Amino acid sequence: MNDIHWLTATALRSAYEQRTLSPVTVVDALLERIGKLNGSFDAFIRVDAEGAQEAARAAEQALSDGRSLGPLHGVPIGIKDIFDVAGQPTTCHSKIMLDHVAAQDAAVITRLREAGAILLGKLALHEFATGGPCFDLPFPPARNPWNREHIPGGSSSGSGAALAAGLVPLALGTDTGGSIRGPAGFCGVVGLKPTAGSVSRRGVFPLSASLDTVGPMARSVADIALLQDVMAGRDPGDPTSVVASSRSSGADLGRGVRGMRIGFVRHFHEEDMRADPETIAALESVARTLIREGAEVVTVRLPPLNEMGDVYRVIMPSGAAAIHAAWLRDRPGDYARATLRKLMAGAAHSPEVCASAQRERAAVGAAIDRVLHEVDVLMTVNSMEPACRLDADDDTLARSHVRQARNPFNLSGHPALAMMCGLSAAGLPLSVQFVARAHDETTLLRVASAYEQASGWHARHPLA
């Protein structure tokens, strides 16, 4: 197969079962593609070719023996370099962590291994999952495969870029204020921020502990369901984690949206922050597609986007500043300039301001819950415009970071998914965000899958 690099994890599993492909062939093809293209997009900062090939041979032998290693048997995956992988550096894309070698696997890495996945290597990110696309770090920033002069979004930048470039079929990301959904939208792939607590965070370097979420990234909704089901579940080592739902995330993927009620939050992009005209047009096209598929789309209102953003902009930076307090005191010069500026801003919030923000956060969650009692799923803008240029000035990059509608759902903990819904005139992806009730990833992925199949955007790729 000449297009191994575009096969989804679901397609790879089927090919293995039919013996039309082998894990060794797939891993070798992806390693060759990484060698060819990674220099253009800087998605990987470390490739474990030897470990991946060894795992591929073991997966292939198991197939020959008639044994299944699990739901991800022989499927390659890229790991954001914020997750611990035993014996490998966890750098967080920072000079500060260059010499840190993980003693044991993060909880989700253990689950991936137990499910038969093959770890290809570590992916780029924004330093410590904050900062931005910086050139004053040990590794270059990842680039957008749709146009390498543009940002791929962050902080899971390498994950989005690797998927869009056909370097991996699956990737891990983390999402504290949109760090999965941002790159998914800018890179034209799919990213899920699951319900808070549904995936263990043990062995993942924190950004802001009360907001951090681990989630899957892929090129199809079915693959998101597959990876989420592997990762989800209670971990005794993470007291914030919860028991997984008894229903598979992908249980309703083929049911369509007929009879469902979709709440379109138009005021986010029409009033609170006026979106780019191409983004507005793409969102209206999503609504029309869902209506054609049999859903009822109604306009709903949540609290103003700026008010919820103000709450987030207290809680996230203050949490991050607390985690980095010792390094900020002893090693400030080892951070990228953009990272240092963000972390220092968080240190300025008083305990009283932080306590007030936490009270307002509870009100945000309650308001979103009330609307979700009236509809099955919410539909909102993801980013207000396509990805900006990588060489944009600081103000433009900062503007791109805040002109989005993702962080309300980190505050509330609801599951949220971003996916491609169009291309700009310049050929850059546009995206939509869907949000569901807590612990109802099944319904969320049902709607996303119906839109994916009806629209066909998932079949578009930036590269040969």
Domain 11-459 has CATH 3.30.70.120: no
- Report the pLDDT averaged over residues 95-114: 97
Q: What is the pLDDT of residue 246?
A: 86
Bridge partners for 91 per DSSP: none
How far, in Å, CA of 236 to CA of 131, rounded? 31
> Greatest CA span in the chain, whole angstroms?
63
Bridge partners for 296 per DSSP: 261
Catalytic residues: 80, 155, 179
DSSP 16-72: HHHTSS-HHHHHHHHHHHHHHHHHHH--EEEE-HHHHHHHHHHHHHHHHHT----TT
Q: What is the pLDDT of residue 2?
A: 65
Radius of gyration (C-alpha) of the chain in whole angstroms: 20
Q: What is the pTM of this model?
A: 0.98
Q: Under a CB-based contact definition with an 8 Å cutoff, are residues 371 and 325 in contact?
A: no
Token code pair at residue 173: 């990301």
Q: CA angle, 241 as apex, 239 and 246 as ends, to 5°?
A: 140
At residue 74 the predicted structure's pLDDT band, cuts being 50, 70 and 90, is: very high
Phi first, then psi, for residue 379 (nearest 5°) are -125, 125
Q: Over 80: is that where the pLDDT of 319 sits? A: yes
The residue type at 191: G
How far, in Å, CA of 81 to CA of 261, rounded? 39
- Report the pLDDT averaged over residues 411-429: 98
Q: What is the pLDDT of residue 376?
A: 98
Q: What is the pLDDT of residue 1?
A: 53
Q: What is the pLDDT of residue 263?
A: 98
**pLDDT tens string 276-314:** 999 999 999 999 999 999 999 999 999 999 999 999 999
Token code pair at residue 12: 């790879």
Judge if the upstream peptide bond of residue 40 is cis by omega within 30 degrees of 0: no
Distances (CA, A) of 300 to 139, 370, 377, 452: 43, 11, 11, 23
The residue type at 177: G
- Report the pLDDT averaged over residues 124-148: 96
Q: What is the pLDDT of residue 117?
A: 98
